[in-house]
A and B are shown apart, each in its own frame.
Chain A
Amino acid sequence: GNSVTQMEGPVTLSEEAFLTINCTYTATGYPSLFWYVQYPGEGLQLLLKATKADDKGSNKGFEATYRKETTSFHLEKGSVQVSDSAVYFCALSGGGGNKLTFGTGTQLKVEL
């Protein structure tokens, strides 16, 4: 079946540091890949998505590239802010319908 593996958290960074959160997946066929963010006490918000190999999703300074050869979709941001502190989830959809398979989530803490 489909699965998503994310790096363990929490990740603690200083403001303006470079962020990478690793995500790899296992899936049959050609899944679509997503990054969702969850702020405390809230639901999930879509951060970015990529639908085919070599696509780059980007939003609010975050980027991720769909790498089929390494089955990866790593999230990056060049300069994080305190307001980026949240839990980040990598997810995939495939096989029909809207079912999402999520990774375990990575908590990011950004300090001044």
Chain B
Amino acid sequence: KAGVTQTPRYLIKTRGQQVTLSCSPISGHRSVSWYQQTPGQGLQFLFEYFSETQRNKGNFPGRFSGRQFSNSRSEMNVSTLELGDSALYLCASALQREGPIEQYFGPGTRLTVT
């Protein structure tokens, strides 16, 4: 069974630009969550999607948005990039919404903002 895939793996953008990251969950999984990982703030929850609906949102500005498609693939978008958005963005998929269940993480997208 293929794992969670994230594309692209690496990305370099300039301040003020926008970026879209993609996450394909494990086949059959309907829940996708996104996390930002930085050396200073650690792992922080961005949002969770289930059946194309955002179910939970972390404490991030509105520049961070996401969506989920009918095939459960998810994208997250960051507009007007800031230097502080440089981070590893991880997505995790799960079979269902309610735990305690195992969430499977992808390898992440490393975003560098210059």
Contacts and interface: CB of A to CB of B under 8 A. Distances in A.
B101 interface: yes
Interface in A37-71: 41-46, 49, 51
Given A97-B97, A99-B45, A101-B45, A43 B103 contact: no
B31 interface: yes
Given A43-B4, A43-B107, A43-B108, A105 B42 contact: yes
A104 interface: yes
Given A97-B55, A97-B56, A46 B103 contact: yes
Interface string A70-112: 0000000000000000000100010011111111110000000
Contacts of B50: 97
Main secondary structure of the interface of B (DSSP, over half): strand
Contacts of A104: 42
A32 B100 contact: yes
Interface centre among B90, B101, B103, B106 (most CB of A within 10 A): B103
Band of interface residues on A: 20 to 34
Interface string B41-61: 011110010100001101000
Contact of B45 (A41, A42, A89, A100): A100
Contacts of A93: 99-100
A32 B103 contact: no
Contact of A97 (B44, B98, B102): B98
Interface of A: 32, 36, 41-46, 49, 51, 89, 93, 96-105
Interface of B: 4, 31, 33, 35, 42-45, 48, 50, 55-56, 58, 90, 92, 94, 97-108
Given A93-B99, A98-B103, 11 more contacts: A32-B99, A43-B90, A43-B105, A45-B105, A49-B100, A49-B102, A97-B97, A97-B98, A98-B97, A100-B45, A102-B35
The 6 closest A-B pairs by CB, nearest first: A32-B100, A43-B105, A102-B43, A44-B105, A51-B100, A97-B56
